[in-house]
Amino acid sequence: MTKTGLKQRGRAGFNFLAEMAAWSGRELQAAANEDFDQATAGEETLPVDQAKLRRGYQVLEDSKAFAWDRFYTRVAGEHQYVAALEAYEDGEVEIEAEYAELKGQGGTLELDATLESPSYWSDTDFHLAPGGWDGHPRMGFMIHDYIYDLLFATGGVGAVKPGQSFADQRFVTAQHASQETYRDILEIGVGTGRYALALQRAYPEAKIHGIDAGTSELEHARLIAARHGFEWELKQAIAEDLPYEENSFDLVTFFILLHEVPVPAAKQILSEAYRVLEPGGELLIGDVAPYKVQESLFRSVILDWETEHRCEPFWRGALLQDRAQLLRDAGFERVEEFGVGPGNYPWVTRGYKPA
């Protein structure tokens, strides 16, 4: 038993799902990749576009390894929240005791009961989470302390390959801001605070601000800040209408947000990021690399499958989009993008508000 209240049933459930996802990601995907390479020998498959994606799916229709890998990936996705709910129910007393113990710590949290979330956010069961990000009063806890730490940490899910470190990817992205220090950092879509924690580690003197639409996520982000002795300023708001004045921050950043929103919303978010940045301020984005710079067509198909089968409805649109051009269209200059990890994940896009 830990402060997360994890008991034997919850531990066993997550161990099973994690091992299944990691095994499928290693063994079955490797076999499916061999099938794919044999079927496309001699073909020009890069760079990946929509037509080549269709070709990739067509090739893999005959691969039993691909079908079974996708089956196990779907099973893990469907059962992760069942396992999380069971684990929470077993450990509810300990979990709620920590929330009570740290209440009032971790900085400020402004919730807005009148907030009208965009339909794409409120109507989507992201990652197959029943009811979406606020489908349970402690969904933030279950995502952060259970699913992230006990399932996604093993890889084999989404853009995280088996053996990769889920937490390190955020810290590596945070370190790719161009300055050594910042005064005020805004994270858009702060979620449960995992990336905010990486930002605070990278820039210990900075004041961390964060917005999110989800109540349970914000409450857990504040708990994470309290666990580590930090003081963050958190607000419930939507990314397309930030509750800040112009020229408020010297760094605005977000991690794996753009593939969770439709492209028109992404354009509005970038416009708002530009507005609240001070002249000369920096925008730093970490996300899944666009298809055009993926390591292979096979890998692009594996990623694209998330769009229709693991409730990532905006994934395909985001990964087909020219991300750097979106920043330029919003007014950013000196835009650059590059991969900072295996397989170009995370993919960093960086730009500056004109001074």
- The pLDDT tens digits of the residues spanning 217-239 come to 999 999 999 999 999 999 999 99
**What is the average pLDDT across 196-207?**
98
Cβ atoms of 148 and 166 closer than 8 Å: yes
**What is the average pLDDT across 5-14?**
92
**What is the average pLDDT across 86-109?**
96
Cβ atoms of 344 and 294 closer than 8 Å: yes
Instruction: Give the C-alpha separation, 170 to 345, whole Å.
Output: 10
Q: What integer pLDDT is reported at residue 270 of this predicted model?
A: 98
Instruction: Identify residue 212 by its one-letter amino acid code.
Output: D
Instruction: Give the C-alpha separation, 102 to 99, whole Å.
Output: 5
**SS3 letters across 92-156:** HHHHHHHHHHCCCCCEEEECCCCCCCCHHHHCCCHHHCCCHHHCCCCHHHHHHHHHHHHCHHHCC
pLDDT bin (cut points 50, 70, 90) of residue 150 is: confident
Nearest Cα to 318, choosing from 117, 160, 120?
120
User: In which region does residue 343 sit, left (phi positive, over 0), alpha (psi from -120 to 50) or beta (all else)?
Assistant: left
- Angle at 298 (CA atoms; ends 293, 299), nearest 5 degrees: 55
pLDDT of 303 above 70: yes
pLDDT bin (cut points 50, 70, 90) of residue 1 is: very low
Q: Which domains does the chain have, with CATH numbers?
A: 8-352 (3.40.50.150)
pLDDT of 96 above 50: yes
Mean pLDDT of the chain: 94
pLDDT of 55 above 80: yes
Instruction: Give the C-alpha separation, 10 to 141, whole Å.
Output: 14
pLDDT bin (cut points 50, 70, 90) of residue 159 is: low
pLDDT of 165 above 90: no
Q: Is the peptide bond before 313 cis (omega within 30 degrees of 0)?
A: no
User: Cα–Cα distances in Å, from 6 out to 14, 16, 223, 305, 317?
Assistant: 10, 15, 17, 32, 38
Cβ atoms of 256 and 288 closer than 8 Å: yes
Q: Which of 8-17, 107-116, 317-326 has the lowest mean pLDDT?
A: 8-17
**What is the average pLDDT across 81-97?**
95
Instruction: Name the pTM for this structure.
Output: 0.95
Q: What integer pLDDT is reported at residue 342 of this predicted model?
A: 81
Q: Rounded to an integer, what is the distance from CA 178 to the centroid of its chain?
A: 22
